[in-house]
Structure 1
Amino acid sequence: MGDVHFSRGRARRGAVLVFFWILGLISLSCAARLSVEKQKLQVQKHLNRLNKPAVKTIESPDGDFIDCVHISHQPAFDHPYLKDHNIQMRPNYHPEGLFDVNKVSDEKPPIKQPKEHSAPIKQLWHMNGKCPEGTIPIRRTKEEDVLRASSVKRYGRKKHRAIPKPRSADPDLVNESGHQHAIAYVEGDKYYGAKATINVWEPRIQQPNEFSLSQLWILGGSFGEDLNSIEAGWQVSPDLYGDNNTRLFTYWTSDAYQATGCYNLLCSGFIQINSEIAMGASISPVSAYRNSQYDISILVWKDPKEGHWWMQFGNDYVLGYWPSFLFSYLADSASMIEWGGEVVNSEPDGHHTSTQMGSGHFPEEGFGKSSYFRNIQVVDESNNLKAPKGLGTFTEQSNCYDVQTGSNGDWGHYFYYGGPGKNPNCP
């Protein structure tokens, strides 16, 4: 009898345990569903904030949707300090000495070049229409774009420590941050802008969470948590855009990428005035190895009167400005200018990615093979463009990505840069 009671008791306890186990599974399932629903709601709210009502929508051949949004309805004006802002439709001052660099120069570069086609770089969406006056083109953010990010909050933001530190490079920091660079730079003076003509390529990306870019940096403050940075150039970033297209981009931060700033128009800040160029949209054509070479010109400068930082693309497109109040150090001037390439290496334990920088070829290969920056200049306190003095170079590991500078009458100060990443000398 005792054995029977014991057996029944054990069965009851077993049944209770199974009941609570099933209840736990149901609870977990409900919690998971609630979590998914909560995430969807967060993503939708974020999309509603970013994607403003469009006057007109243009579908680009690459699958992007370009929304033509009234200039006064753009994301910049979500910022509380910009509620009553009067849009400045043109800068008060423009640096002197600007020349037409919206297409590849017809002048000979430093070494012999193959025959090439000179053609202005366009954005792919231009093939299917243009935005009306009084609007600006904004690349529409899709649900899948946001879902690729680590969180809704981090969407459109760089990771911390994305700035090269030329004077204090630490191999441990390189491995920790995962960012690698090949740059030229100037420091030790007050700078009020920078310019460059940047060779455009479509580098191969190894992992979807890696990127490759070529840009200029306008930097103010220390390399600590108060760093100010304005950045512009081209990039290939599958994580951000969902493809491997080469795209025009900008970035800004006033606290070293922690809580402020973003790419393009993915947060409030940059005020766009131009109706023809879309931040984050694909640019075409791109350069080909031993074939036609294409480049873009970017100029960023500080308007001496209003203090805003303006951006110009090519010789024809003044795109807009970053209001001076966004920054602390850059409200006055920049203390360092950098030009060059950056990649993210997601490989662990000191191994290297095969994500390419620039053309994916080393600087010594020269024109038509390696990527270049030419006619690099800074803007001085008199709002004049001038050649940089004391140009330095920096790369964390030259066997992976390298940089070589030069100077001549046609290209002014220039440098070749880049590399393949992983190779026999860069394991």
Structure 2
Amino acid sequence: MAVDVFPWKKSKPSKTQPRFVAGTRKHKCGQAHTNLSTRTNQGSFPNMAFSPCLRSPVIYLLVHFLLIVFTLCPVHSSQFGNHSVANQTFRPKEELRKLNAIRNRLQQINKPPVKTIQGPDGDIIDCVLSHKQPAFDHPLQKGHKPLDPPERPRGHNQMDDLSENFQLWSLSGESCPEGTVPIRRTREEDILRASSVRRFGRKKILNRVRRDTSGNGHEHAIGYVTGDEYYGAKASINVWAPLVENPSEFSLSQMWVISGSFGDDLNTIEAGWQVSPGLYGDRYPRFFTYWTTDAYQATGCYNLLCSGFVQTNSKIAIGAAISPTSSYSGGQFDISLLIWKDPKHGNWWLEFGAGILVGYWPSFLFTHLGDHASMIHFGGEIVNSASSGSHTSTQMGSGHFAEEGFGKASYFRNMQVVDWDNNLIPLSNLKVLADHPNCYDIQGGVNNAWGNYFYYGGPGRNVKCP
């Protein structure tokens, strides 16, 4: 069954404005005072500067009265930085400590740019010297530079020739100069949306749950292979913009390269697209990567939000919005991703399309994946917070069930794995699994045009998924 991929149309994205944090100032009495002014999406607290130099008894009493009010009275605002703070007490010292922690984290992540590009979607892209990117903050990477391209797997299909210009920021016509890498700038409000500064950029801990069961509200519809030694995987992933019900949830479609148990020593390498309002502050589908060596506990992160993944590409920004996307009964768009282990140095490389290297995960990051993977997963994942007391209406894939087929349901196609001799080979024992098939399901198949493929996804809450 030969299947055509239809043309696509661009949609005009909305613009947002960058936000900032105010610094410190000096009081007229000569004493430095803290100016706590945290801009958020909802507004800002007024600047507060208190001084013992007040001369007027009336003002002196008023200031002390306000201090008592701020200390004892709860804040009635319903949101602060997209987080509920109802029935909480405003504590200036704690807020200042948090603000300082955020500023320190931003300094670690955001490196001095050679050039800055404003994307049409509101993203700010910094062009950073390649050897100054966050990966080289790692003690084992200090003073190093990105490695040269490795030997590619044999049998690489060169038909999937996709352009590097698949992201909204690149539609501005601007690009980063050679010798730099484009990095999406992290802002204060991005970190404020996280559960804590320490957990920013990390997935929720899965509490020893197996991938074939749901835990902490994570639900999957996946195709997987196991029982062999795997040195990489490849697939073309259909891109959509699924509805995500609330900021604490996400919807993603990705490949997992896995080794270790599903306990504390789980190693994973992940890449695909995701809609995550909590991480990015919007509902665009975005190209992303992830890694962990301890089941998402203390190691690893999304994209370049810690010292891990080494980017080598000067035209693709990891974490940036994807354009175009697929439409129901309309144009279909997919991205082709390949992850494989370099036979010479042992690093895990990521390639987009045909021959477009994005970068690599150094082998020293991993324990079990220092050798090979024991399992490969392809498919979708959502978070069901059940915040309204019922199943979330967050969509997976296109938001439609697998049975609707091409142009309506989301798909993975041309799935392959890399063997011990660096050959790309078809899957021989693909299995499919859906945690909650009444909410999100999956159907697999094989044909000459798409090789191993499956349709998957669903709407979440419906009559059969209350």
State if a TM-score over 0.5 links the two structures. yes
Structure-2 residue corresponding to 1:13: none
Q: How big is the shift at 1:98?
A: 1.5
Q: Which of 396, 405, 416 pairs up with 2:455?
A: 416
Change (3 A) 1:23 1:370: closer
CA–CA separation in structure 2 for the residues paired with 1:120 and 1:45 = 33
Q: How big is the shift at 1:86?
A: 4.2
CA–CA separation in structure 2 for the residues paired with 1:154 and 1:191 = 30
Structure-2 residue corresponding to 1:401: 440
CA–CA separation in structure 2 for the residues paired with 1:421 and 1:382 = 41
Query: Structure 1 residue 122 and structure 2 residue 166: aligned?
Result: yes
| 1:334-355 C-alpha deviation (Å, 9 max, x unpaired) | 0000000000000059731000
Q: How big is the shift at 1:26?
A: 6.5
Taking only the aligned residue pairs, the percentage that are identical comes to: 58
Structure-2 residue corresponding to 1:99: 157
Q: Which of 402, 405, 409 pairs up with 1:370?
A: 409
Structure-2 residue corresponding to 1:154: 199
Q: How big is the shift at 1:90?
A: 1.1
Contact kept in structure 2, 1:209 and 1:239, CA below 8 Å:
yes
| 1:283-328 C-alpha deviation (Å, 9 max, x unpaired) | 1000000001000000000001100000001114201100000000
Q: Structure 2: state its 5+ residue gaps.
A: 1-64, 74-88
Query: Structure 1 residue 198 and structure 2 residue 237: aligned?
Result: yes
Q: How big is the shift at 1:89?
A: 2.5
Contact kept in structure 2, 1:214 and 1:341, CA below 8 Å:
yes
Change (3 A) 1:415 1:196: same
SS at match of 1:283: coil
For residue 224 of structure 2, what is the amino acid of its counterpart?
A: Y
CA–CA separation in structure 1 for the residues paired with 2:446 and 2:207 = 28
Q: Which of 124, 140, 165 pairs up with 2:210?
A: 165
Q: CA RMSD in A?
A: 2.2
Change (3 A) 1:164 1:404: farther
Q: How big is the shift at 1:166?
A: 5.3
TM-score in terms of structure 1 length: 0.87
Q: Which of 25, 36, 43 pairs up with 2:102?
A: 43
Structure-2 residue corresponding to 1:14: none
Contact kept in structure 1, 2:209 and 2:263, CA below 8 Å:
no
Structure-2 residue corresponding to 1:79: 138
Structure-1 residue corresponding to 2:27: none
Contact kept in structure 2, 1:103 and 1:121, CA below 8 Å:
no
Contact kept in structure 2, 1:121 and 1:283, CA below 8 Å:
no
**1:26-425 superposed matches below 5 A:** 32-91=91-150, 93-100=151-158, 102=160, 122-128=166-172, 129-161=174-206, 165=210, 169=213, 174=214, 176-347=215-386, 351-425=390-464
Contact kept in structure 2, 1:101 and 1:297, CA below 8 Å:
no
Contact kept in structure 1, 2:208 and 2:264, CA below 8 Å:
no
CA–CA separation in structure 1 for the residues paired with 2:348 and 2:127 = 24
CA–CA separation in structure 1 for the residues paired with 2:439 and 2:164 = 31
Structure-2 residue corresponding to 1:4: none
Q: How big is the shift at 1:120?
A: 7.7
Q: How big is the shift at 1:102?
A: 4.2
CA–CA separation in structure 1 for the residues paired with 2:208 and 2:353 = 25
Contact kept in structure 2, 1:216 and 1:337, CA below 8 Å:
yes
Contact kept in structure 1, 2:168 and 2:320, CA below 8 Å:
yes
CA–CA separation in structure 1 for the residues paired with 2:70 and 2:217 = 41
Q: Which has the higher contact order (CA 8 A, sep 6+)?
A: 1
CA–CA separation in structure 1 for the residues paired with 2:101 and 2:211 = 39
Q: How big is the shift at 1:162?
A: 8.8
TM-score in terms of structure 2 length: 0.80
Q: How big is the shift at 1:45?
A: 0.8
For residue 333 of structure 1, what is the amino acid of its counterpart?
A: H
Q: How big is the shift at 1:87?
A: 2.3
User: How many matched pairs?
Assistant: 387
Contact kept in structure 2, 1:164 and 1:181, CA below 8 Å:
no
Q: How big is the shift at 1:209?
A: 1.1
Q: Structure 1: state its 5+ residue gaps.
A: 1-20, 105-118
SS at match of 1:43: helix
Structure-1 residue corresponding to 2:80: none
Contact kept in structure 1, 2:164 and 2:316, CA below 8 Å:
no
Change (3 A) 1:359 1:120: farther
For residue 361 of structure 1, what is the amino acid of its counterpart?
A: H
Q: Computing the radius of gyration over CA atoms, which structure comes out larger, 1 or 2?
A: 1
Change (3 A) 1:166 1:214: same
